[in-house]
Amino acid sequence: MKTAAVALGLLAAAPSALAFAPSVPPPSHRASSRLNAEIGDTGVSFENVAREWRCKYSPGPSGGPGDSESLKACQSLLDEYLPKLKELPGASITRQVCGGCLDFKVSITQPLEEHGAWADADYQPLEGEFMEKLKGIEGTSMHEVQEITFEAL
C-alpha cells in the first residue's frame, strides 16, 4: 500500500528510507486505532499528513493584500475547489495568507491511512487542475506543492 511509501517519502532529507517506522503507542494511548508513524528515533510521531499547495501573490496598488487582485483570484479559485476537497476521506482544509510575505497556502490534511489512496493517485485530478489554474493567475509566482506531517498538539 502506498500509505507506507507516503510516510517514508515525507522527509526527503531523512538519512535512510527507514526514517519513518510505524510506532506502537504506550498502552495508555491505544484508544485510537488510527495509523501512527514516527520519524526515526526523533520522538516526532504523527497520524496526519497534509498536502500543501502554495504560491506568492502580488500586492495591490496600496502595497498590501487588501486590494490585491491576485489574492482575490486565489481565494476565488479555492472557493471553486473547496467542495471537491472536502469530499476527500477524512479531509480538513485550511488556508493560510500572509500579508507581509504575500503567501497564499492551502493545506489538505487527512489521517495517514486515508491519505494513501489520494497519494496512490498522485493527488490527481484535483492537484493538477488546481495548480494549473493557480499558475494562470496573473500576479502569482513560486507555485509549489509539499507533503508534510500535520498534528494538533
How confident is the model over 127-137, as a mean pLDDT?
99
Nearest Cα neighbor of 131 from 108, 111, 150 is: 108
Backbone angles phi, psi at 48, to 5 degrees: -125, 145
User: Scanning the structure block, which residue is given the C-alpha cell 501573490?
Assistant: 57
pLDDT computed for residue 41 by the predictor: 95
Name the pairing type of β-strands 92-98 and 141-149: unpaired
Give me the percent of the chain exceeding a pLDDT of 70: 78
Tell me the one-letter amino acid at 1: M
Confidence of residue 5 (pLDDT cuts 50, 70, 90): very low
Identify whether 26 is preceded by a cis peptide bond (ω within 30 of 0).
Answer: no
> Do 96 and 105 contact (CB within 8 A), yes or no?
yes
pLDDT digits (tens, 9 = 90+) for 71-127: 999 999 999 999 999 999 999 999 999 999 999 999 999 999 999 999 999 999 999
| All structural domains of the chain | 2-149 (3.30.70.100)
DSSP string, 109-137: EEEHHHHHHHHHTTTTTHHHHHHHHHHTS
SS3 of 54, please? Answer: strand
Q: Which residue has the cell 490527481?
A: 124
Q: Give residue 35's pLDDT band: very low, low, confident or very high (50, 70, 90).
A: confident
- pLDDT at residue number 34: 73
Instruction: Give the predicted TM-score (pTM) of the model.
Output: 0.78
Secondary structure class of 145 (helix, strand, coil): strand
